[in-house]
Amino acid sequence: MPPKISGIIQALEPSATMAMAAKARELKAAGKTVYDLSVGEPDFTTPAHICQAAVEAMQAGHTHYTVASGIPELKKAVVEQYKAAHGLEYAPAQVVVANGAKHALHNVFTVLLDPGDEVIIPAPYWVSYAELVRLSSGTPVIVETPQENNFKLTPQALRAALTPNTRVLLLCSPSNPTGGMYSREELGALADVALERDLTVMADEIYDRLVYGENVFASFPTVRPGLQERTVVINGVSKTYAMTGWRIGWSLSPQNLAKAMADLQSQETSNPCSVSQYAAVAALTGPQQCVAEMLAEFAKRREFVRKRLAAIPGVSFPEISGAFYAFVNIKQHLGRAYGGTQVDNSTQWCLELLAQKNVATVMGSAFGAEGYARLSFAAGMATLEAALDRIEEFVTKS
C-alpha cells in the first residue's frame, strides 16, 4: 500500500496557472510552437545590475543562513520604499521576508487563522488564495462581483457576506486575474466596513507599480487613519523587477503578527535564499529606470490586446487598469462544437484552444468565474500577435 496522504492535502487543488504553464512547457518540449499566455510571469530577464548584485553577494561570501525573517538591509529597503512611495512609517521588525509573496500569504494565513475563521475573498480571485486559506484551516467565503462593476467588491456586498466568524478581508489591487484596480475612494468605503467590524485586511499589492494610463494606485493602509494596525500588506520583487525565479516576497504587518511569522519561518523554512535577498536590495535601492521601461512595454501590449479583443465578436472584458491580464468573457462562445468537440465550459474552451491552436490561457473557473478565460500579456509582442490571431480564428471559424 502506498503511504496515505493527509486529508487536508487530499482536498488541495493544484495551482491551475502552474498546471497550464506546465502543459504549455510539455508541448514546447515535444517540439510544438506554443503561444503561451498562461502564467503571469514577466518575460523580461532580470535587469543586469540586479544580477550583478547577486554575483557580488556570492563573491562576498553571503552564502550562509541569514536571519530567518530576512536580512536587515532588505527590511530597511522595503520600509524606505513604502515610506517614499506612500508616506507609510513601518519599523524594520514589521517586515518578514519570505520565499515569494505566495509564501508570505501562507505565513499570514497560518498565524492568523483558527478553524472556522472566515476570510472574505472577492471573486474572480487569484488561484492560490482559497487553497492557502483552507491549508491554514480557515474557511474561504467567496463573494461574487459583477463584470459591470469591473469585478470590484462594494461595501454592500461585503456587509452581506459578514458573519460573526469573519476575520479577514482579502483585497488584490491591481487585480490578478481581472486587471481591475480600486480607486482611493472605493478602498475607503471598504475600509470603513473593516474598521467598523474589526476585520483584518490583507492587501495584496504585488502589482502596485504596474498601473496604466490615468489610474493612480492607492496603498490600502493610507486610505483611512487607523488601518495600518489592522492591515497586512503583501508585496515582492517577482512582477516589478522580473524576478519570479528568485523567490523573494514580503509582508508588512502589525508587530505581533510579524513576530509570529518570523517564529514560524524559523521553524519552517529558515531564511529565504541569501543571494536572492541581496539581489532584492539592489532591485529596491538601485536605478528604477528598468521598471519604467518594462511598464512602457506592458502598456504597449495592453493597448494591443485591448484593440484586438475589442474586434473579436461575442467577447467582452473589463477595463485593464493594472497588472498584465485580460479577463475575457467567453460565455457567448460556449455551448457549441469546436472542430467536432463540444465545448461547454471555460476549462474545455482553454484545453481545446491549446489543443487546436497551440495557445495557452487559464480557465476562468480556476479563478472562481466560470465563462471567462485569462490571458496574460506578460509575453512578447510576436507571441501576442500570433496568439490573438489564433484566438480570433478559434472563436469565429471553428
| Amino acid residing at 89 | E
Burial class of 234 by CB neighbour count within 10 A (0 to 12, 13 to 18, 19+): buried
Please report whether residue 124 would count as binding ligand PMP according to CB under 6 A: no
Which entry of ligand GLU, ligand PMP, none binds 249, CB below 5 to 8 A by partner kind?
A: ligand PMP
Which CB atom, from 150 or from 358, has the smaller least distance to ligand PMP? Answer: 150
Site size for ligand PMP (CB under 6 A) = 13
Q: Give the separation between CA 93 and CA 70, rounded to whole angstroms.
A: 10
Cell of 20: 497550464
Task: Report the greatest alpha carbon distance in the chain.
Answer: 61
Alpha carbons 118 and 199: distance in angstroms, whole number: 10
Between 373 and 395, name the residue whose CB sits nearer to ligand PMP.
373
**Residue 123 backbone phi and psi in degrees, to 5:** -105, 145
Handedness of CA 176, 178, 182, 186 (dihedral sign): negative
- Residue 172 CB, nearest distance to ligand PMP (Å)? 5
Between 367 and 394, name the residue whose CB sits nearer to ligand PMP: 367
Residue 363 binds which of ligand PMP, ligand GLU, none (CB < 5-8 A, kind-dependent): none
Best CA proximity match to 380, nearest among 322, 298, 316, 317:
298
Q: Which of 206, 227 has the CB closer to ligand PMP?
A: 206
- What is the nearest approach in angstroms of ligand GLU to the Cβ of residue 65? 26
Q: Which is nearer to ligand GLU, 128 or 235 (CB)?
A: 128
Residue 295 Cβ, how far from ligand PMP at the closest point, in Å? Answer: 16
How many Å apart are CA 310 and CA 296, to the nearest integer? 21
Q: Which of ligand PMP, ligand GLU, none binds 206 (CB below 5-8 Å, type-dependent)?
A: ligand PMP
Least distance in Å: CB of 239 to ligand GLU?
8
Site for ligand PMP contains 249 (CB under 6 A): yes
Q: How far is the CB of 336 from ligand GLU (least distance, A)?
A: 28
**Look-up: residue for cell 530577464?**
45
Question: Which single residue brings its beta carbon nearest to ligand PMP?
Answer: 100
- The piece of 69-77, 98-106, 160-168, 312-320 that touches ligand PMP (CB under 6 A) is 98-106
Q: Residue from 42, 122, 179, 236 that binds ligand PMP (CB under 6 A)?
A: 236
Q: What is the CA radius of gyration of the chain?
A: 21
Per DSSP, the three-state class of 86 is helix
User: What sign for the dihedral angle of Cα 340, 342, 347, 349?
Assistant: positive
96 touching ligand PMP, by CB under 6 A = no
Contact 141, 173 (CB under 8 A): no
Binding mask 159-198 for ligand PMP (x = CB under 6 A): -------------x---x----------------------
Under the rule (CB under 6 A), what is the footprint of ligand GLU?
15, 17-18, 39-41, 102, 126-128, 176
DSSP per residue over 295-326, as a string?
Answer: HHHHHHHHHHHHHHHHTSTT-B-----BTTEE
